[in-house]
Amino acid sequence: MKQFNICVLAGDGIGKEVTDWGVKALETAGRYHELSFNFHHELLGHAAIQATGNPLPDATLERCKASDAVLLGAIGDPHYDLNPHLKVRPEQGLLALRKGLGLFANIRPILLFDELLDASSLKRAVIQGTDILFFRELTGGIYFGEPRGRKLNGTVAYDTKVYAKYEVDRIARMAFEAAKSRKKILHSVDKANVLESSRLWREVVQDLTPEYPEVEVVHMYVDNAAMQLIKNPKQFDVVLTGNMFGDILTDEASQIAGSLGMLASASIGNEVGLFEPIHGSAPDIAGQNIANPLATILSTALMCNRSLNAPTTGQLIIDAVDAVLKAGYRTKDIMGPQTDPQKVLGTHKMGEQVLNHIHSIAEKNVPA
């Protein structure tokens, strides 16, 4: 029996509801492959501010560093939207965690389940067959650049976009390696016609291309990329881009898949990986048992594949989610006009369906 330590950061809003089912799915699938897990729960975000005054307590960061992987729910609270002057905010905890763990690459797969094609706002013919893997740089760019602040009595605000060559190089290499094992095409998205930081980005990517002769590189401006994602998403396979552009483009791409509630993500660095759904904390539906847990459950499959070297367990979880969708079960955010009202489930019932299908699939594959 192989044992792993997993740090669970439920965070805020619906975070606890969805991470509970991620934990259960990982535990259930792991048993069939002789994996066991020790789950350690720590605070992050608004919940941490309330308890300690710090969005990332030292104990949380230390526990994360000592773990094999981290499962995050979501952070954020409307209190901060109503009080923009507050200097301590939940998002600071996540940014500090990424820095503290050295998480420089956010990997977001845009993978469509055929059963959900009609849940997208785009035509079936446009999106069917879409399979995109985004690599978003996490530790540089406008979120972290200095100087930043205000002047002229607070009437002018400024932020600075900064990238170093090594920051671009390390994530670009990761994206090139992924492209080698997929369709061998890499779209690098920037704004090199306007931004000096994007010119550096493009230079670094271009300098790497001789090392990957089998990979076709397409440089694309971010505004064109945003249009092309809607016009013809199937042209993309691996997409490499910076922090801000990646944040925006992956949320746009989530609508190809029908809902933010279906998309998992992995934040990877040199050691401990962090896995989370890309949806927010959704405080308006917290505690109502209607949040979609599937993105978090799929995030545990990514964890198995990327950090735990347990791809068979990860595939079992994906197969179970696929089977649940094939059986017609939906949460409200992914239901369509043809959905059977009797199969529209809340968070708990949807989670239970996934566990049931993990059991049934695994037991069918047990040798006689």
163 is catalytic: no
What is the dihedral sign for C-alpha 310, 315, 318, 324?
negative
Residue 281, C-beta contacts closer than 8 angstroms, at least 6 positions apart: 11, 12, 13, 14, 15, 45, 73, 74, 75, 76, 77
C-alpha 353/C-alpha 327 separation (Å) is 10
Do the beta carbons of residue 235 and residue 225 sit within 8 Å? no
- Segment (H or E) for 156: strand 156-158
Q: Is 139 exposed, middle or buried (0-12, 13-18, 19+ CB in 10 A)?
A: buried
Output the six-digit token pair for 86. Answer: 């507050």
Per-residue pLDDT at 366: 61
Please identify which of the residues 247, 319, 332, 343 carries the catalytic annotation: 247
Domains of the chain, with CATH numbers? 1-120+257-368 (3.40.718.10), 128-254 (3.40.718.10)
247 is catalytic: yes
Do the beta carbons of residue 27 and residue 313 sit within 8 Å? no
Output the six-digit token pair for 147. Answer: 């100087």
118 is catalytic: no
Whether residue 147 has a cis bond before it, omega within 30° of 0: yes
Nearest to 293 by CA among 14, 12, 9, 13: 14
Residue 110, C-beta contacts closer than 8 angstroms, at least 6 positions apart: 130, 131, 132, 133, 134, 233, 250, 253, 254, 256, 257, 263
190 is catalytic: no
Q: Is 196 exposed, middle or buried (0-12, 13-18, 19+ CB in 10 A)?
A: exposed
Do the beta carbons of residue 16 and residue 9 sit within 8 Å? no
Neighbours of 95 (CB within 10 A): 16
Please identify which of the residues 131, 169, 251, 322 carries the catalytic annotation: 251
Output the six-digit token pair for 94. Answer: 């996540």
Do the beta carbons of residue 55 and residue 95 sit within 8 Å? no
**Placement of tokens 């100087």 in the chain:** 147
Please identify which of the residues 223, 231, 326, 340 carries the catalytic annotation: 223
What is the dihedral sign for C-alpha 118, 123, 124, 129?
negative
For 297-350, the DSSP string reads HHHHHHHHHHTSS-HHHHHHHHHHHHHHHHTT-B-GGG--TT--GGGB--HHHH
Question: Per DSSP, what are the bridge partners of residue 35?
Answer: 2
Across the 368 residues of the chain, what is the mean pLDDT of every consecutive 10-residue run? 96 97 98 97 97 97 97 93 86 92 94 82 88 94 91 94 96 97 97 97 98 98 97 96 95 81 90 93 94 96 95 96 95 87 96 98 75
251 is catalytic: yes
Please identify which of the residues 65, 143, 169, 180 carries the catalytic annotation: 143
